[in-house]
Structures are given as structure tokens and as C-alpha cells.
Structure 1
Amino acid sequence: MIIGVPKEIKNNENRVGLTPAGVAELRKHGHTLLVQAGAGGGSGFDDADYEQAGAQLLPTIADVYGQADMIIKVKEPIAEEYPLIKENQLLFTYFHFASGEALTHAMIERKAICLAYETVELPNRALPLLIPMSEVAGRMAPQEGAKYLEKPLKGRGILLGGVPGVKPAHVLVLGAGIVGTQAAKVAAGLGAQVTIMDINLNRLRELDDFMPKNVVTQYSNEYNIREAIKTTDLVVGAVLIPGAKAPHLITRDMLKTMRPGTVLVDVAVDQGGCIETCRPTTHEDPTFIIDDVVHYCVANMPGAVPYTSTLALTNATLPYAVKLANLGWQAACRQDAALRLGLNVVHGEVVYKGVAEAWGLPLVDVAHVLEPVTA
């Protein structure tokens, strides 16, 4: 199979879809790797590294899309890439269709095979291709929140961990999944007083067993959230419904009950956000203020630490990429139920329930698109 790795062109996205080690592994299986010149530069991988691993370097993104059977990326294609995508071309990347109506319709129109990292799901409900970036984003959330709590950046002017004789900041984490757990661990490690909320009591019991004493668990409901935000300095939104829009747990009217300079970090923004007033921002212009509350809503947080993120992502995606390349997407998805759940849009048809519901589109049974082609 001919596999293409284009340079990411989303604002300040420095990750790359495949490391040189990933290229070498796919070459070992006999596949042709086409990498756009400069694609790995932001992550610390030179063109020479890719050439040494066996890749062919191409000068433009159009060259990569034009020749590849499968595209391996990090972020969803943006408008400039839509015309480059070919019918029947396999795109293996993050899509987050439930928060991108224009993207959804564009991929339907292009009749590509869109296999989304974020909906590949194991029998135990784990999301193996989302977990590494969730770990990165979760650990970054308190770090970014601590920065924007500083007064010059319009925050409350409070140090997350406090000092002897001065209380630490209070951090509220909404969601006790991968992102929320990592955020709570880092915030607690920095000395903050942390409350983590979720609707899964079993998960809260698990956290209560291993979290440090400055982390407390609380059941998540509107009343408890409304009460907590009155005295919270930093809120981390970490709610995920795989492949679907995140629910709004903090609404516009709640902002007026928060103290001026409170910081909101909505890690769920790429799935529509769990804070009603959040909208996607970029590393170039990461925050905005509503009702004196600072909103940090960067949709590609891990892109700020691309070396770590690219390595972590390739570690997770490479075995699936090898399977797709070796068997072809239909056979691979027939054999692997987790990979099959990654199919979102195929040949102009929506095959993932969360995407169809988000935009009121007809849902086609994924078994239909997996039927082997007969002569």
C-alpha cells in the first residue's frame, strides 16, 4: 500500500502523523511511505531521519494526497485539504465529526473512508488511540490553568499550590476519565486542593483509593456543580461521550456566580465542549474572557508538546496502521471490532451513530460498507 504522511497545517499544530520509527516498521511490511518534506520538523524529526527510515520525500501536500492510498495524520483535514482528498482514499486521523458539521459534509462529498482515532474502542470501552493524547491534555490542563491564573494574564492572581500560611487554589475537575484523572493528579502534585466529579460512583471509589489526600471525589449533578464553582479558582472540563457532542455542564448563567479571574480549561472543546461559553481557540490566541472569567479552549493542546505527543500517538496508532495497510481497510475492520468502530464516514455515508445524531443525517449499518467487493 502507498501511505502518505502530510505536514499538519492546522494553526500551531506541530505534531506529525508518523515518526521515522513508524515509517521503518511499515517499510518492513513492504509498504511505500511518502512523507511531505518538513512534516516532522515541528516534532524534532528531520527529513533525513525519514529518508534513512525508508520514506520518499515529496515537496508538497498535494503530491502526498495525490499519490497515497492511505493518509496518516494527526488532526482532521481543514478546508484547504478538502479538495485534495480522493474518493476511496483512507484517512486515518482524529476527526471529531460531532463538533464539525462542515467537515462532516465535506467528507461525505469526497466519498473517502474516514477512520477516526477517537472512536476506535476496545470491548472494555477503552479508547486506545485517544488515551495517549488524553493523558497529555490532562496533564497539561492544570499547567495551562496555573499560568492563566496569573494576574498579568487576567487570572485571579493565585498560586496553584499556595505557600505556608496561605491556602492553595481550589481546582474542580469535571469528569473522572483519562483526562480528568491525569488533571487531578498533576493539580494535586502542584499542591492544589482538588475536587473531581463524575456520575460513575464505581470510578469515584477507585479514585478515592489511590488519589492523595488533597483530592476529594464528589458525585456530579447540576446542584453540586453550581455550588462548587462559587469557590473554585480553576475548572477543568474533562467530559467525553465517544464520538458524540459533550454535554454542557457549565452554562452561561453560571459564570456570574464565579469569582472574577476564575479560569476555565475545556479539554472537551474538540467535541463541542462541556462549558457552554467555550469555543475553539488556538495556541496563537488561546484565551478569551466572558463575565470576567478566563476561557482557555485550545482544541489541540497536545500540539504544544509535539515531541512527546507524536511519540505517544505513534506508539498507539502504529499497530492499527500496520493492520490496515497489510489487510486493506475492509478486511482489517471485519477482523478487528475495535477498528471497525473507528469507521465514521465511508463512501459518502455516515456509519457512526454519534455523528448521524449530531447533524440529523441518515445512519447506514457499518456491515453494509464492509461487504467484500465481488466481481
Structure 2
Amino acid sequence: MLVAVVKELKQGEGRVACTPENVRKLTDAGHKVIVEKNAGIGSGFSNDMYEKEGAKIVTHEQAWEADLVIKVKEPHESEYQYFKKNQIIWGFLHLASSKEIVEKMQEVGVTAISGETIIKNGKAELLAPMSAIAGQRSAIMGAYYSEAQHGGQGTLVTGVHENVDIPGSTYVIFGGGVAATNAANVALGLNAKVIIIELNDDRIKYLEDMYAEKDVTVVKSTPENLAEQIKKADVFISTILISGAKPPKLVTREMVKSMKKGSVLIDIAIDQGGTIETIRPTTISDPVYEEEGVIHYGVPNQPGAVPRTSTMALAQGNIDYILEICDKGLEQAIKDNEALSTGVNIYQGQVTNQGLASSHDLDYKEILNVIE
């Protein structure tokens, strides 16, 4: 199987889907690997480093001729022309956010494997490290954009406690998963107060136990509680993600209007559509805009801003799956590995993820029925 590592085209995206170390694992297993020129530069990996591990450096067009194309994010619209029948595209594709790319993949007969929908032992194991990074960085961005020069309230989120008692900011975090706890931990490290809004009762108990000695309040998620708590936020971070599907707009414009002027609103799951009515995708180079008097931060690829760390994390997670696909062939790998099967969103043009199908009102096929 010919495997290609392509350079990301998304603005500000410095990650690469495969490290030189992982290229060596593939070539040692007898697989041919091609790497697009400068694909790893943003993460600190030179072309020479890949060549030393057995890869051939190629052009963008040549990379897309591969049987298995390994990416970080969804293909850019300029890359749709390279899709070919039975080609496998691997990455954090977030296909629920774009019907156009799904229809193009269906038309050509592409197989799309989305790392964010791979579930193992009840957990999104490949997404978790990226969620952790996005959560931590969101807390930092909230502090940064709270400053007056960025249009924020002009507050120092830490407060001041040297001979005076100026309280820190309040972070309201919507959702209680990996991204949320990582955001909360950074906010607590900044001496901020944290409110977490969570739906699941078992998770609420877990969070209450986890933060029993900290300045954290855990609130049951209801529309009424959300509307009440968002008014307290100096920084509001939404972490809600529904695997494979586009989430509902739970944070309404009216709720945003009720927020403090100059407060900061961040949606970590904007790459899947987001849960905030007033949010839209932004970029790492132009990350914020003001609406309803609130600073909106809608960067969909936050880990791309810290590519060295992020690349090492995602590469550790994906290599075993990629090796299994290459060693066994995709069909057998899917049959042998239930977790891998959960990542197959489209198989040879057929939608095999129920959340994705419902997001775009498309026919759904169970993956094991399709390949039998």
C-alpha cells in the first residue's frame, strides 16, 4: 500500500500527521511512504529527516496519488480534485460541518476515516490529546483576550492579592469532558473561579469529587441554568461535541446578549459546527471578532498553533491504526478492530457513521454490512 503524508493547507495549521519516527515504522514493515515537500516543517521535521527514515519527498499532486492519504485536518476544497475511487483519507475530518465534502467523497467513492470518531473502551482516544490541548489553550486565550487592547474588559484574570484583594475572573465552562477539565485546570492555575455546566449525573459526581478542594462549582446542564450561569462569565468556553454529528445551537443569541460587555466567548468544537448561535470559524492569524459586545474566538484548529506538541501527541495515537490498515488491508482491519470501525465515516462513498448521516440527511449504512 502506498502511503502519503501531505502538507496541511488550513490557515495557521503547523501540524503534520506522521513523524519521521512513524515513517520508519511503516517502511520497516515493508510499506512505501511518500511525504509532500515541507509537510513537517511547521512541526520541526525537515525533508531530510523523513528521507533518512525511508520516505520519498514528492510534490503535492504526487502525494495525492497514494492509496492511503494521511492528514491532520479535512481536505481543502482545492484538493477535492485529487480524490479517487477507493482512496482512503485519514485525519480529523469533522465531516458533519460540510455537506459539500461529503457529497464529493460519495461521488468519487472515497473512504474517509475520521480520528475524532474512533471510540475505544467508551473514549475518543485519538481526540482526547487534541481536546486536552484545545482546552488548555482556550483558558490561556480567554485570559489574553480579556485585556483591553484586544477589546476585552481590561481585566487580569488572576486578580491581584499582594497587599490588596482584587478577585480573579470567572470561567464558565460548558461541558465536563476532557477539554473542559483541561480548561478548568489552567483557569484554576491562573487563580480564576470556575463554573462547569454538565448534563450527565455520573459525570457531575465525578467532577464534584475531582474538584472538592478547589474553587469550582458544578451545575446541572439545563437551558435555565445555562442562561443564568453565562451572565457570570468573564470567559465562557463551550466544549460540547457530539461524535460525528453537528451539535445543536444551545447557546442562543439572547444568552450572548446577556453576557458582560467585553467578556470572551470560545467554542472549542467550532470545527464540528459549534454550539453557539453567534459563533463562526476564524483563523489562528485572525482569531477574534466582536458581536453583541462579546469577543468571539472561533479557531477550529487550536492545536495547530502549538504544532510540535500536537504532532507528537497525535502521531503516537494514530500509528498503530495506520500500520494495521497497511498490514492487513482496510476490510480485514475493520473486521478485526472494532475501534477502527467506529472511525470509518464513509466507505467507498457510502456513509457509515450515523451521526454524519443525520447531520446531512443522508442514507446510513452499517459498516460491517457494507464490507461483507
TM range (shorter): over 0.9
CA drift at 1:270: 0.9
In structure 2, how many angstroms separate the alpha carbons of the residues matched to 1:287 and 1:109? 36
**For residue 64 of structure 2, what is the aligned residue in structure 1?**
65
Q: Does 1:87 align with 2:85?
A: yes
**For residue 264 of structure 1, what is the aligned residue in structure 2?**
265
CA drift at 1:131: 0.8
**For residue 167 of structure 2, what is the aligned residue in structure 1?**
167
In structure 1, how many angstroms separate the alpha carbons of the residues matched to 2:108 and 2:270? 26
**For residue 242 of structure 2, what is the aligned residue in structure 1?**
241
Structure 2 counterpart of 1:357, one-letter code: S
RMSD of the TM alignment (CA)? 1.0
TM normalised by structure 1 equals: 0.96
CA drift at 1:210: 2.3
Write the deviation string for residues 141-190 of structure 1: whole angstroms up to 9, x where unpaired.
Answer: 10111111111101111111111110110000000111111111111111
**SS of residue in 1 equivalent to 2:290:** strand
**For residue 75 of structure 2, what is the aligned residue in structure 1?**
77
- Tell which deviates more after alignment, 203-212 or 191-200: 203-212
In structure 1, how many angstroms separate the alpha carbons of the residues matched to 2:177 and 2:260? 27
**SS of residue in 1 equivalent to 2:138:** helix
> Structure 2 regions of 5+ residues with no counterpart?
none
In structure 2, how many angstroms separate the alpha carbons of the residues matched to 1:310 and 1:46? 14
Percent identical: 40
**SS of residue in 2 equivalent to 1:27:** helix
In structure 2, how many angstroms separate the alpha carbons of the residues matched to 1:259 and 1:119? 35
**For residue 100 of structure 2, what is the aligned residue in structure 1?**
102
Query: Any runs of at least 4 consecutive aligned residues in structure 1 with deviations exceeding 3 A, and if so which?
Result: none
**For residue 15 of structure 2, what is the aligned residue in structure 1?**
15
In structure 2, how many angstroms separate the alpha carbons of the residues matched to 1:188 and 1:250? 24
Preserved contact between residue 95 and residue 356 of structure 2 (Cα < 8 Å): yes
Structure 2 counterpart of 1:52, one-letter code: K
**For residue 343 of structure 2, what is the aligned residue in structure 1?**
342
In structure 2, how many angstroms separate the alpha carbons of the residues matched to 1:148 and 1:49? 38
TM normalised by structure 2 equals: 0.97
Q: 1:1-375 to 2 correspondence within 5 Å?
A: 1-58=1-58, 60-66=59-65, 68-122=66-120, 124-164=121-161, 165-211=165-211, 212-371=213-372
- Tell which deviates more after alignment, 18-27 or 247-256: 247-256
How many residue pairs match? The answer is 368
CA drift at 1:230: 1.5
CA drift at 1:367: 2.0
**SS of residue in 1 equivalent to 2:72:** coil
Preserved contact between residue 92 and residue 116 of structure 1 (Cα < 8 Å): yes
Preserved contact between residue 172 and residue 232 of structure 2 (Cα < 8 Å): no
CA drift at 1:199: 0.6
Preserved contact between residue 235 and residue 263 of structure 1 (Cα < 8 Å): yes
Write the deviation string for residues 37-88 of structure 1: whole angstroms up to 9, x where unpaired.
Answer: 1000001111111011111111x2111112x110111000011110112111
- Tell which deviates more after alignment, 184-193 or 203-212: 203-212
In structure 2, how many angstroms separate the alpha carbons of the residues matched to 1:108 and 1:280? 25
Write the deviation string for residues 304-331 of structure 1: whole angstroms up to 9, x where unpaired.
Answer: 0000000000000011111111111110
In structure 2, how many angstroms separate the alpha carbons of the residues matched to 1:220 and 1:232? 15
CA drift at 1:35: 0.3
Preserved contact between residue 82 and residue 110 of structure 1 (Cα < 8 Å): no
CA drift at 1:369: 2.5
